[in-house]
Amino acid sequence: MGQITNPQPDVYLITGGVCNTYLLSGERLTVVDPGSYRAAELAFGLIQEICRANGGHSSRPIDITCTHFHLDHFNGVDHLQKLTGASVILNDQVKQFLNGRRMPLPLPHRILPLLPLRKQMDHVIPRWENIKHSRDEVRPSLFWPRIKAEVNSWIQPESFLPGREDWKMIASPGHSPDSVCLYNVGSKTLITGDTIFNLDSRPWFHPFVQDKISARETRRRLKELEVSALYPGHGWPVQGGNLMAKALGPRRRN
């Protein structure tokens, strides 16, 4: 079952896929992380509802973007593009993986410390069987997905999304080399993908990292942001004051 909520005027949260999918409203409609066919269908239904609320049609352009090139965040992109005719806008860093380079995997010694947290993370880490059955054609690997969609725009991190002056793409490597967050400077809203999730009702920097040094630098830079609403790729949104100063690393428990 899918669920659509509208936690703030310009952000819709779509659950029911393998990760959180978001729709950003405004003069353009931007879908973030359609990670499965189910998420793509739900996003398409929401777009239709928004169009009906505007007299049955909408001239607003539709875009699709992703926080990183992992299967559970990317798997519905091609389907949603076919349903809507949307433009696909991606971080320029994804090019290297589309050109044949494989996404590097986290080393075993970086995975083992997660085992004590595994039970607590059951509600935020998607199970493989859910990813595998999220569409009618199984992709070969969580870390080496394929893409059939046409990419319309490549943008550099630290740039605003095309046609939008409200949402900025911020590089946040660590979990993967191409990870990005989306930040709304006006509303102090941060969409984090897998850079940060919600564990124990507060923001946690994701402990499952491919590059520890990059992850440390990402934590340092993001903690300088003023954030009052945080929307993770997995887990429920977190709202409140000074969220990034309160965000925890994977080994801190208090």
- Delimit the domains of the chain by residue range: 3-246
Tokens of 250: 């994977």
What pTM value is reported for the model?
Answer: 0.86
Are 135 and 238 in contact, with CB atoms under 8 Å apart? no
The answer to whether domain 3-246 has CATH 3.60.15.10 is yes
Write out the chain's pLDDT in tens, 254 residues. 568 999 999 999 999 888 899 999 988 999 999 988 889 999 999 999 998 887 655 678 999 999 998 888 988 998 999 999 999 999 999 888 776 666 665 555 555 555 555 555 555 556 555 555 555 444 444 455 566 678 999 999 999 999 999 999 999 999 889 999 999 999 999 999 999 988 777 888 877 787 889 999 999 999 999 999 999 998 889 999 889 988 887 655 44
Closest residue by Cα to residue 162 from 27, 40, 49: 27
Q: Give the burial class of 44: count Cβ atoms within 10 A of its Cβ; 0-12 exposed, 13-18 middle, 19 or more buried.
A: buried
Closest residue by Cα to residue 78 from 156, 128, 134, 4: 134
Model pLDDT, residue 189: 97
Residues composing the chain? 254
Closest residue by Cα to residue 194 from 132, 251, 133, 142: 142
- DSSP code for 245: H
Model pLDDT, residue 138: 41
Unique residue bearing structure tokens 């994977």 = 250
Are 87 and 62 in contact, with CB atoms under 8 Å apart? yes
Q: What is the CA radius of gyration of the chain?
A: 17
Model pLDDT, residue 89: 96
Tokens of 93: 């860093």
3-state secondary structure of 120: coil
Q: What are the CA-CA distances from residue 177 to residues 38, 50, 249 (Å)? A: 27, 35, 19
Beta strands, E only, 59-171:
62-65, 87-91, 151-155, 159-160, 167-171
